[in-house]
Each structure stands twice: as C-alpha cells, then as structure tokens.
C-alpha cells in the first residue's frame, strides 16, 4: 500500500537547515567546512543558567511535566522582564511558556486563525512563518519590503492591500536583514491593526541584540496584540528549546489548551535553568557577546567589497547580514551549493526568505541575496572571506 501523504505536509524546505545537513555530510568526508548559515550563537548558555541546570539535575525533584503553559515562576519572571525592559505590566496569566518560539508560532496560528485566513508578512521574512502558515491552510500575503523601507513593512503597504488581513507577523530585529522597526513605526502598524481587526504578532526573539537602536515591544502599544519571545538568541540557549508568548486575555486559555494537546509541556529542566537567564550575572556575559556580534557585523561589511559586493544595508541588530549578490549570480541557491562544494563555505540562499513568485520578477527576489550569519567566531568569518575572495 502506498503511504498516505497530506497536502499539508508538502511544505517548502527551510534551506538553512538543508544546507546544514549538506555541510555536516561534507564534514564527514573530511572537508573543513565553515558554516555561516545558522543563527546560532557560538557561545553556550550563561554560567548562571548552566549552574541552575546542574542544581536542578542534582536535586531529587522528578523533573516531571509542568503546567501546559509553563512553570508559574518562569511565567512571572517573563512578565517582570517586560516591566523592567519596556515599562509595561504583563500579568502572568497572559504569558505561556513554549518549546522554543517555534512552538509559540504554531500554537498562536492555530489559536487565532482558521484555514483560509490571510496572514501578511514581510518578504524577505523568516521562512518557517510562511511554511507553517501554508501547512495550516492559511493564505500568506507577502509584503514586498526592499531597502527603501529597510526591509520592513509600513502602514502604506498595509493600506495598499485589497482587504485587511486576519493577521500580520512582524519581526524586529528581523531575520534575515537585522533591521529594526522604529518604535513610532511599530506603534503606527499596531494602531492600523487595531483599527482593521488584524491580529499583530510581533516576533521579538532578537531583542537584546541591538547595536544602539531601541527595540520596542508591541505590548507597549496595546495588550490586544501578541508578543513572541525566546531564550534561543540573546540568551544563547538554542538547544534548550524555551520560548514564550504573551497573548491578549481572550486567547490565553485557547493557547493553553492547544499547548497541552500538542506538547503537554516545555522541558522542565530547561524551564528551571531559564529562570537564571534574567539574572544580572547572565546579562554581563550576554552583553559581551552582543559586542562581538557587532564586531562581526562590521567585519563582514568591511570584507564584502573585496568580493565585489557594494552598498549592503547596515543591520541594526540580530546576527545576520543580507547582501545583494546579483553582481555575482542570479541564482543564490546554486551559488551557495557551489560555495559549499568548492570551498567549504556555507551561506544561506535568499530564496529561503523571499521565494520567487511564479511568473513575476521582483527586486526583492531571494535569488539575488544571501544571508551571512555573524553569530560565530570572528576568525571563522575571516577565513570564510579569504576563501570567498580567491574563489570569486
């Protein structure tokens, strides 16, 4: 009997993960591969987090399931974090702990939208939003965002849509471009969404990794929209898989019920450890990493002209640079595959973030862009550019 295959499962690849798989394969053949394709900090979790994990393991606690919406102490700490960072009161009843922010997105999309609902997002934007929306039967509305708007959506773009979408997902700082939506612009987008009955989901998982510009939370504008956070990026805890959602009161119970059915709960050891991530000692370590990401960004921007790439937008935060490589190729995927094969350098093709629309070319097509991760070590970035320079 043939296996049954759903249409829902027919999602596009997440190319960064595909390239990672190919790179690991190359490594097994003995090639020295330099990977600048993943958004993963080179440093591990802060000392206080690791100590908290060891203490939790050493105690005689069972480390069993927690409440589906997370440990009450962690939910309270996340709420308090919004008060100290953004001056907003967030009741812990609106906070739900999730298995990375990835699980937060699945839960909020299921809780807020029905199949067929239109949800808008920036193009270029994080591929998993588009692919999960697709898999769940939502209609993705691409907002074409070029360098003129620093690759971020605007109220004018929303006004130009034929109808208000059910949802809008924004990310600031963004992946892949690292640009930040200014607080006034985020407020204007939030007001537009409130007026038009659009649920705004603000991906704030790169908060903390900003090079001087303020990063506003959507919760400063209204409790009626959704903020998504994560311990993966600033807190350097990618594999611990802890993220969170802050939702309007009306959605909290529904999301809790979905989380209980989808995941039962988020790993308990990771939740206990994450409590220590908000400590002042952790902040000292983490802020030193942010200074390194900024130096790495500057290194990449300095070296791009050596391979013939000019005028790259300066990212405001996160750990990515997103150059236009159309001077070198009109097929970013083929170019990235060749770079891996021939010189062992792994970059992410722009088509991950801005897939080509059949029948229409656009200057934001991902075929012209690549994403370079600056989350790793400066020496590796420098060596990758040495290789690229002799290669191009």
Ligand X SMILES: Cc1ncc(COP(=O)(O)O)c(C=O)c1O
Smallest Cα–Cα separation from 158: which of 173, 143, 139, 170? 143
Q: What share of the chain is helix, strand, coil (3-state, %, to 5)?
A: 45, 15, 40
**Strand (E) or helix (H) holding 230:** strand 226-230
The verdict on 102 binding ligand X (CB under 6 A) reads yes
The verdict on 203 binding ligand X (CB under 6 A) reads yes
At which residue do the structure tokens 């006004």 appear?
159
Cite the DSSP H helix spans in the chain. Answer: 15-28, 47-58, 72-86, 100-112, 127-135, 155-159, 183-196, 249-262, 268-274, 280-303, 332-343, 378-391
CB of 102 to ligand X, least distance (A): 3
Among 79, 243, 315, 317, binds ligand X (CB under 6 A): 243
HSE, CB side, 13 Å, CA atoms: give it for residue 57: 8
Site string for ligand X, 23-62 (x = CB under 6 A): ----------------x-----------------------
Region near ligand X per CB under 6 A, out of 47-55, 94-102, 253-261, 262-270: 94-102
Structure tokens at 174: 């963004």
The verdict on 238 binding ligand X (CB under 6 A) reads yes
The verdict on 205 binding ligand X (CB under 6 A) reads yes
Among 90, 143, 145, 171, binds ligand X (CB under 6 A): 171
Among 66, 106, 172, 175, binds ligand X (CB under 6 A): 175
At which residue do the structure tokens 């029905």 appear?
114
Region near ligand X per CB under 6 A, out of 100-108, 137-145, 245-253, 288-296: 100-108
Rounded-to-integer distance, Cα 205 and Cα 220, Å: 16
The verdict on 230 binding ligand X (CB under 6 A) reads yes
The verdict on 374 binding ligand X (CB under 6 A) reads no
Number of residues that bind ligand X (CB under 6 A): 13
Site string for ligand X, 117-156 (x = CB under 6 A): ---------x------------------------------
Rounded-to-integer distance, Cα 266 and Cα 97, Å: 7
Region near ligand X per CB under 6 A, out of 80-88, 210-218, 230-238, 329-337: 230-238
Residues pairing with 229 in the sheet: 244
Q: Which residues bind ligand X (CB under 6 A)?
A: 39, 100-102, 126, 171, 175, 203, 205, 230, 232, 238, 243
């Amino acid at each position: 009997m043939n296996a049954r295959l759903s249409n829902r499962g027919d999602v596009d690849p997440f190319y960064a993960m595909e390239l990672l798989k190919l790179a690991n394969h190359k490594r097994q053949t003995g090639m020295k591969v330099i990977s600048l394709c993943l958004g993963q900090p080179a440093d591990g979790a802060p000392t206080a987090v690791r100590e908290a994990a060891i203490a939790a393991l050493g105690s005689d606690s069972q480390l069993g399931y927690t409440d589906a919406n997370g440990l009450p102490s962690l939910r309270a700490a996340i709420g308090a974090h919004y008060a100290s960072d953004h001056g907003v009161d967030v009741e812990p009843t609106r906070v739900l702990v999730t298995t990375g922010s990835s699980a937060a997105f699945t839960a909020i999309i299921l809780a807020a939208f029905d199949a067929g609902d239109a949800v808008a997002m920036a193009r270029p934007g994080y591929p998993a939003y588009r692919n999960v929306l697709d898999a769940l039967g939502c209609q993705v509305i691409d907002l074409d965002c070029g360098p003129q708007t620093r690759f971020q959506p605007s109220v004018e773009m929303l006004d130009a849509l034929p109808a208000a979408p059910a949802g809008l997902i924004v990310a600031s700082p963004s992946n892949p471009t690292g640009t930040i939506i200014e607080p006034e612009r985020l407020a204007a987008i939030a007001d537009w969404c409130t007026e038009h009955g659009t649920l705004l989901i603000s991906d704030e998982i790169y908060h903390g990794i900003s090079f001087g510009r303020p990063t506003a939370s959507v919760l400063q504008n209204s409790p009626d929209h959704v903020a998504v956070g994560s311990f993966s990026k600033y807190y350097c805890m990618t594999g611990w898989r802890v993220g969170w959602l802050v939702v309007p009161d009306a959605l909290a119970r529904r999301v809790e019920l979905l989380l209980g059915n989808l995941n039962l709960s988020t790993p308990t050891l990771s939740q206990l450890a994450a409590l220590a991530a908000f400590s002042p000692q952790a902040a000292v370590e983490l802020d030193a990493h942010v200074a390194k990401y900024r130096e790495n960004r500057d290194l990449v921007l300095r070296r791009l002209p050596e391979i013939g790439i000019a005028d790259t937008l300066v990212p405001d935060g996160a750990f990515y640079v997103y150059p236009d490589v159309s001077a070198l190729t009109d097929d970013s995927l083929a170019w990235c595959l060749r770079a891996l094969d021939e010189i062992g350098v792994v970059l992410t093709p722009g088509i991950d973030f801005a897939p080509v629309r059949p029948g229409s070319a656009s200057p934001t097509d991902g075929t012209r862009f690549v994403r370079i991760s600056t989350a790793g070590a400066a020496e590796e970035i420098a060596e990758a550019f040495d290789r690229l320079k002799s290669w191009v």
